[in-house]
């Protein structure tokens, strides 16, 4: 399907006839009785959902700002220590092959800074 083709679908949900109709006429622009478009854009921007922050984004921030890489387990550990919501990992294992290492205090502070930067804390 090319970009200039538009497809619309109508579905009949009920056979009942409407009891009444309401007609609303809205005029956009400047002047009395008109709805200004810039106010609509501002309100739409306020309701726009925030971008979901991923561990990969946090790791890129830490690499750029601090010059070191951290494991995702370190980020998860700091989030867990701060009491932030955690989600079940689909690839989680029951038993680890190697004992879990812990991040240094410098790494912990850097991760906290990244979480503040992305407005998670």
49-71 per-position pLDDT tens digit: 878 899 999 999 999 999 999 99
* Cβ-Cβ contacts under 8 Å for 28 (sequence gap 6 or more): 34, 35, 36, 37, 40
Could you tell me how far CA 48 lies from the centroid of its own chain?
10
Q: Identify whether 11 is part of a domain.
A: no
Tens digit of pLDDT for each residue in 3-43?
566 667 666 666 777 788 888 888 888 888 787 888 788 88
| Domain contains 45 | no
Tell me the two tokens of residue 103: 């991040």
Tell me, yes or no, whether 43 lies in a domain: no
Residue 61 falls inside a structural domain:
yes
Decide if 31 is inside a domain: no
Q: Quick check: is 16 in a domain?
A: no
100: containing domain? 55-117
pLDDT tens for each residue of 82-114: 999 888 878 877 787 888 788 999 999 999 999
Average pLDDT of the segment spanning 43-52: 83
Name, in order, each residue with C-beta under 8 angstroms of 73's C-beta and a sequence gap of 6 or more.
100
- The verdict on residue 24 lying in a domain is no
CB burial of 77-113 (b: ≥16 within 10 Å; e: otherwise) equals bbbeeeeeeeeeeeeeeeeeeeeeeebeeebbebbbe
* Domain count across the chain: 1
- Rounded Cα–Cα distance for residues 113 and 78 (Å): 11
Predicted structure pTM score: 0.60
> Does any domain span residue 110?
yes
């Amino acid at each position: 399907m090319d970009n200039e083709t538009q497809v619309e679908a109508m579905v009949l949900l009920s056979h009942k006839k409407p009891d009444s109709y309401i007609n609303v006429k809205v005029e956009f622009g400047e002047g009395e009785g008109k709805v200004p478009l810039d106010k609509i854009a501002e309100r739409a921007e306020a309701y726009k959902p925030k971008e979901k922050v991923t561990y990969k984004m946090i790791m890129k921030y830490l690499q750029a700002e601090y010059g070191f890489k951290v494991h995702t387990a370190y980020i998860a550990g700091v989030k867990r220590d701060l009491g932030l919501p955690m989600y079940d990992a689909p690839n989680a294992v029951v038993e680890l092959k190697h004992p879990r290492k812990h991040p240094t205090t410098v790494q912990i502070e850097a991760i906290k800074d990244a979480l503040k930067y992305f407005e998670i804390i």
